[in-house]
Amino acid sequence: MKILYINECINRIDGSSVHARSIIRELQNKGIVLLTIPNKKILNRTFEPGGTYRLELSLPVLYREILVFLKSVLKCIYNIALVSFKIPIFKPDIIMIRTVPYDFLPLFLNFVGVRKIILEVNAPHYIEREMYYKIQYDKSVHLSLMKKIEIVSWKSVDALYVVSNELKEMIEHEVGSCNPIIEVIPNGSDQINIVDVKVNCDIVKIGYSGSFHKWHGVELLVEVARKILKESDRIEFYLIGDGENKKAIENIVNNDSLLKDKIKFTGYLTQKEVLDIMVTMDILVAPYLNMEKFYFSPIKIMEYMACGRAIIASRVGQISQIIQDGVDGVLIPPGSRDDLVIAIKTLVTNPEYRLSLGRMALEKSKEHTWETVASKILLLTNKINEKNNNIQR
């Protein structure tokens, strides 16, 4: 089978790139011939907003969104030209497209009669960007054009795969009587060779991995760290990753004598380096804030489980469906400072409980691998082929 995979996130330095590159690797391992747009590149090790992105961050919200629109339209026109050239040469059996804001490529392909298209939907972009502006800048923005393009794209293709049940329900509500196949395929993780999970007797290391969006709760974790470190100096915190808000959080930490030697920032790391440092932690946290719509499938949760470490996470969306509280992790109310303090203290003072949670999480991680994700994608391609064969009859 030959798949044309169009994903603008392949060369980014965040979780979306991990998702794309892991799927590419696992599909190729299964013998699939893949052509990607754009081509994979070696990722830059440092997070340095450049070019139009730096300009974008400096603009007021309205002008920023205009710039995003113009960039997206130009990229879409370029992709239309490139895909129109590639399809007759490559002759793909399936075209898989990760949705991006203001992307009318699926509509163009449908208009010219191209079939067997799968949309990879990790988020409804009009909701995600509205939420971003509200949380990051306290600005209410309604992106009606983005919403219209996105919903019409969902309706125009053979199938979509989404990362959570919550996202599937949102899309089903919008597509109405249109009948694309919609499959839920959560994110995954690489499996890690772990000999055994051992108790760290000297210093308890607590880690967070990911970008530094405000709703990820990193600032909340820093507040909690200050409270905990007042009572114990046997704890260290590691903030793994990079992002727009990292420098502001670093400034808070560096200006606090209690925190600056106990909270360590790694900056951007390769995926292997992230996993290598996470397996040295004792506790891994995902302290998401309270959100109206939590439709995500956090890669960090799958990776935390694969590391075999005790997990503390907010009881929201898919996280509460994957983690069983008190069995393979600890769930807390989203955004609750007091509950996060209690959960950390409980695990710090109960090493055997930490070990038990970690071992159970490691076992469950075998259900959530990138190989499993690739297998489910191939099952979806079979459904599309069956659907098209039935139509032709």
Q: Give me the residue spans of the domains in the chain.
A: 2-188+369-392, 204-365
pLDDT at 201 (0 to 100): 64
Q: What is the pTM of this model?
A: 0.91
pLDDT at 142 (0 to 100): 75
pLDDT at 243 (0 to 100): 84
pLDDT at 47 (0 to 100): 47
Question: Long-range contacts of range 16-24, CB-CB < 8 Å, 24 or more positions apart?
Answer: 16/98, 16/122, 17/43, 18/271, 18/299, 19/122, 19/187, 19/299, 20/98, 21/271, 22/188, 22/190, 22/370, 22/373, 23/370, 23/373, 23/374, 23/377
Decide: 72 and 103 in contact? Cβ < 8 Å: yes
All residue ranges of the chain with pLDDT < 50 are: 47-50
pLDDT at 49 (0 to 100): 47
pLDDT at 52 (0 to 100): 54
CATH superfamily of 2-188+369-392: Glycogen Phosphorylase B; (3.40.50.2000)
pLDDT at 193 (0 to 100): 74
Q: Quick check: do 2-188+369-392 and 204-365 share a fold?
A: yes
Architecture of the structural domain at 204-365 = 3-Layer(aba) Sandwich (3.40)
What whole-number percentage of the chain has pLDDT above 70?
A: 93
Measured between alpha carbons, how far apart are the two ends of the chain, in Å?
Answer: 22
pLDDT at 179 (0 to 100): 80
